[in-house]
């Protein structure tokens, strides 16, 4: 990799020193910071209400405080996030936004409201059916309600103009991320998986305006690189993990090349159709409903397996590693269908159940290495 | 012309194994020692032990060293490291060409491996984190019952009856055993129940992969007749045990070394 590109990548890696460093700095500078739990949370509304939206990502370590309120079968993401909330690690947040996705997230929102003090809790009741006029009209009304709630809390009037400007910033960002994903298809050697996930993680934790600039500079330089494939076995990472960094690093140090992903903490948040015309809440409602659905949602006509197969084929991946968060039921329901479809096409798969609050284990590395040995 | 050898080293959590083979792929010597806390030293010692059987250590001409097991990366002077999944598959296929399914029960993990007709790994599963369904489970229980580990299998087979052990967790199963002892349940019945409990965990793991006979059981626990009895009963099929089940992984590693050296494709 050229010196210039490794210099351009450095700032993306800064988030790993402290995931919320940018949020904390903003707070110190007198800005308002909002945490959001899921990419179905309309960040554009938070942005236009004057908040710096950052994604809540689970951390490492035991979760004794959260274990008092969550059952053993709640996922490690919910537990580690609640642990951070209860232990005061999110004191830099003014507000948290939950979106109704899986059962755990819905209940976590209520536990959070009752147990974590010092910040506002806003819940967006996103419809689980994402196709048709009824969900669309419902979500438009819900977004109007959330907008009013945010106006009341922030004392900022979210005018149509303000919201359109925020949508523009976010749309530019999605478009940049889409370009980057497309660029990796065309020129796999341009960025490895670890670099890509540093970019992805930072995209959720930095200001979109700054991230846009960094992305645009990077994309420009990457475009100038000669097109070259990689000689390592290419794998796509799917599943339901949110804290991905350690896992991607372990997969690549075992000798693989993570060429693409089908993760919420990745492409699923960015591979959206372009926005529609209309009033800003309609734009947002249509956009969130038209995205590749989270496994907790139902979109008639969308087959997650053929969508995944398309990504695998077009990225040139030889195998798929599913990193499934333990107790993530919505994803577990999808998995057998995904695996069958891929294996029918001769694509090898490996499922590893992970706990996001635990470091990558030796057994994890052995499984990855053994999987790669079967790809050779 | 002096002989050339290929060494396979399998540094597991409980034992370190070394197998030395010649160009004809015959096993010339092997050794098994407890790993203890020092993986690196165990690797060195077991290597010396195997080499000493064929000659003076510094005169044995080893052309390739392939390491496997959870200490595989620590082995010095290795030609390469390969996971125990590939090595067990390789070793098992070499020993019995028609084997389609390998179950390896080691000290801290168990694996179920489905092989293709050509002996390649098709699919595999490893146990998750916990010690249930591994050799460690039986080690803990042998201490609780004060019975030597190597006697557990025979006691179980001769028991005729078994006590029900339902906890998946090793620590909870230990308290269950203590309760059974307090109730005056015969020790052989408890021992048989423990072998059944290990087999049930492994059976669950194997079923996830899809058990396809002929089946071979490898790893130290394959020496336990009680586990073999229960596992074959649960699976409903005969289970083949190689002469030295503990060294199958190291043998596979040595074979991979020989094939790399002889420029054969690695299978």
B209 near A CB under 8 A: no
- Does residue B129 have a pLDDT over 70? no
- Give whole-number Cα distances, B158 to B40, B101, B188, in Å: 40, 28, 8
- Does residue B267 have a pLDDT over 50? no
Read off the pLDDT of residues A112-134 as tens digits, 9 standing for 90 and up: 999 999 999 999 999 999 999 99
- Does residue B132 have a pLDDT over 80? no
**Is-contact A21 A14, C-beta < 8 A?**
yes
Is the residue at A133 inside a domain? yes
Read off the pLDDT of residues B171-212 as tens digits, 9 standing for 90 and up: 888 999 999 999 999 999 999 999 999 999 999 999 999 999
Read off the pLDDT of residues B41-79 as tens digits, 9 standing for 90 and up: 999 999 999 999 998 878 889 999 999 998 999 998 899
CATH number of this structure's domain B99-241, picked from the four choices 3.30.450.20, 2.130.10.10, 3.40.1550.20, 3.30.420.40: 3.30.420.40
Looking at per-residue pLDDT, the higher value among A361 and A88 belongs to A88
- Does residue A341 have a pLDDT over 50? yes
Closest Cβ–Cβ partner in A353, A362, A370 for B85: A370
Mean pLDDT computed over every residue of chain B: 92
> Do A374 and B121 lie within an 8 Å CB cutoff?
yes
Q: What are the residues facing A129 on neighbouring strands?
A: A298
Which chain A residues have a beta carbon less than 8 Å from that of B83? 366, 369-370, 373
pLDDT band of residue A43 (cuts 50, 70, 90) is very high
Domain harbouring A81, CATH code: 3.40.50.11890
Residue B71's closest chain A neighbor by CA?
A: A362
A374 near B CB under 8 A: yes
> Do B122 and A374 lie within an 8 Å CB cutoff?
yes
- Does residue A362 have a pLDDT over 90? no
- Does residue B106 have a pLDDT over 80? yes
pLDDT band of residue B264 (cuts 50, 70, 90) is low
Range of the domain at A132: 20-155
Residue B47 DSSP SS3 = helix
Is the residue at A352 inside a domain? no
Least confident of A87-91, A287-291, B166-170, B245-249: B166-170
Read off the pLDDT of residues A269-314 as tens digits, 9 standing for 90 and up: 998 887 777 899 999 999 999 989 999 999 999 999 999 999 999 9
**Is-contact B216 B102, C-beta < 8 A?**
yes
B128 near A CB under 8 A: yes
> Between chain A and chain B, how many beta carbons pairs sit less than 8 Å apart?
31
To the nearest whole percent, how much of chain B has pLDDT over 70?
97
To the nearest whole percent, how much of chain A has pLDDT over 90?
87
303-362 in A: which are within 8 Å (CB) of B?
A: 353, 361-362
Is the residue at A115 inside a domain? yes
Q: How many domains does chain A have?
A: 1
Q: Architecture of domain B1-96+247-267 in CATH?
A: 2-Layer Sandwich (3.30)
> Where do the structural domains in chain B lie, given as residue ranges?
1-96+247-267, 99-241
Is the residue at A193 inside a domain? no
Q: Which helix (H) or strand (E) holds A120?
A: strand A120-124
- Give whole-number Cα distances, B196 to A32, A214, B139, B224, in Å: 60, 59, 15, 11
Residue A358's closest chain B neighbor by CA?
A: B129
To the nearest whole percent, how much of chain B has pLDDT over 90?
75
Query: What is the pLDDT averaged over residues A125-148?
Result: 95
Query: What is the pLDDT averaged over residues A97-120?
Result: 94
Which chain A residues have a beta carbon less than 8 Å from that of B82? 373
Model pTM score = 0.90
| Structure tokens belonging to residue A69 | 């309120």
CA A233 to the chain's CA centroid: 25
Least confident of A260-264, A359-363, B33-37: A359-363
Is the residue at A179 inside a domain? no
As a whole number of angstroms, the distance between CA A282 and CA A299 comes to: 18
């Amino acid at each position: 990799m050229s010196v210039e590109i490794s210099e351009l990548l450095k700032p993306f890696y800064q988030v790993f020193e402290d995931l919320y460093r940018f949020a904390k700095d903003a707070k110190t500078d007198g800005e308002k910071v909002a945490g959001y739990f899921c990419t179905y949370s309309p960040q554009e509304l938070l942005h236009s209400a004057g908040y710096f939206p950052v994604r809540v990502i689970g951390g490492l370590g035991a979760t004794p405080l959260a274990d008092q309120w969550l059952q053993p079968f709640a996922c490690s993401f919910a537990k580690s996030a609640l642990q951070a909330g209860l232990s005061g690690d999110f004191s830099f947040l003014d507000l948290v936004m939950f979106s109704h996705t899986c059962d755990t997230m819905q209940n976590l929102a209520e536990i959070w409201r009752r147990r974590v003090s010092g910040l506002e809790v806003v819940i967006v009741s996103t419809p689980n059916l994402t196709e048709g006029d009824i969900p669309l009209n419902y979500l438009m009304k819900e977004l109007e309600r959330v907008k009013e709630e945010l106006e009341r809390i922030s004392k900022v009037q979210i005018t149509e103009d303000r919201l359109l400007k925020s949508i523009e910033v976010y749309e530019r960002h999605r478009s940049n991320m889409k370009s980057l994903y497309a660029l990796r298809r065309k020129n796999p050697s341009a960025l490895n998986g670890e670099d890509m996930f540093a970019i992805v993680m930072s995209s959720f934790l930095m200001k979109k305006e700054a991230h846009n600039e960094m992305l645009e500079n990077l994309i420009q330089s990457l475009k100038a690189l000669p097109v070259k494939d990689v000689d390592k076995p290419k794998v796509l990472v799917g599943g339901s993990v949110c804290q991905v960094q350690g896992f991607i690093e372990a997969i690549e140090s075992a000798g693989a090349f993570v060429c693409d992903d089908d993760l919420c903490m990745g492409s699923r948040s960015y591979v959206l159709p372009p926005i529609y015309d209309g009033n800003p809440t309609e734009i947002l409602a249509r956009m969130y409903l038209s995205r590749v659905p989270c496994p907790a949602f139902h979109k008639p006509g969308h087959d997650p397996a053929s969508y995944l197969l398309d990504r695998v084929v077009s990225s040139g991946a030889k195998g798929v590693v599913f990193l499934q968060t333990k107790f993530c039921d919505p994803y577990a329901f999808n998995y057998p269908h995904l695996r069958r479809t891929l294996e029918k096409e001769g694509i090898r798969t490996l499922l590893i159940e992970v706990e996001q609050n635990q470091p990558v284990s030796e057994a994890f590395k052995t499984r990855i290495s053994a999987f790669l040995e079967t790809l050779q | 012309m002096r002989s050339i050898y290929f060494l396979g080293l399998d540094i597991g959590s409980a034992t370190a194994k070394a197998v030395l083979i010649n160009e004809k792929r015959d096993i010339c010597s092997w050794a098994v020692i407890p790993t203890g806390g020092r993986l690196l030293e165990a690797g060195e010692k077991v290597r010396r032990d195997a080499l000493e059987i064929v000659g003076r250590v510094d005169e044995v001409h080893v052309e390739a060293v392939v390491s496997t097991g959870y200490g595989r990366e620590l082995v010095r002077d290795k030609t390469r490291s390969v996971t125990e999944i590939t090595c067990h598959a390789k070793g098992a296929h070499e020993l019995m060409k028609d084997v389609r399914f390998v179950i390896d029960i080691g000290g801290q993990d168990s694996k179920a491996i489905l092989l293709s007709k050509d002996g390649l790994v098709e699919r595999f599963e490893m146990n998750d984190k916990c010690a249930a369904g591994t050799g460690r489970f039986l080690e803990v229980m042998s201490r609780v019952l004060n019975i030597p580990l190597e006697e557990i299998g025979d006691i179980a087979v001769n028991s005729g009856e078994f006590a029900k052990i339902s906890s998946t967790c090793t620590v909870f199963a230990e308290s269950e055993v203590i309760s059974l002892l307090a109730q005056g349940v015969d020790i052989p019945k408890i021992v048989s129940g423990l072998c059944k409990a290990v087999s049930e965990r492994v059976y669950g793991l194997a079923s996830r992969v899809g058990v396809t006979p002929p089946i071979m059981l490898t790893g130290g626990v394959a020496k336990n007749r009680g586990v073999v009895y229960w596992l074959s009963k649960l699976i409903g099929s005969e289970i083949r045990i190689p002469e030295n089940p503990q060294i199958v992984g190291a043998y596979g590693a040595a074979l991979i070394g020989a094939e790399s050296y002889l420029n054969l494709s690695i299978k």
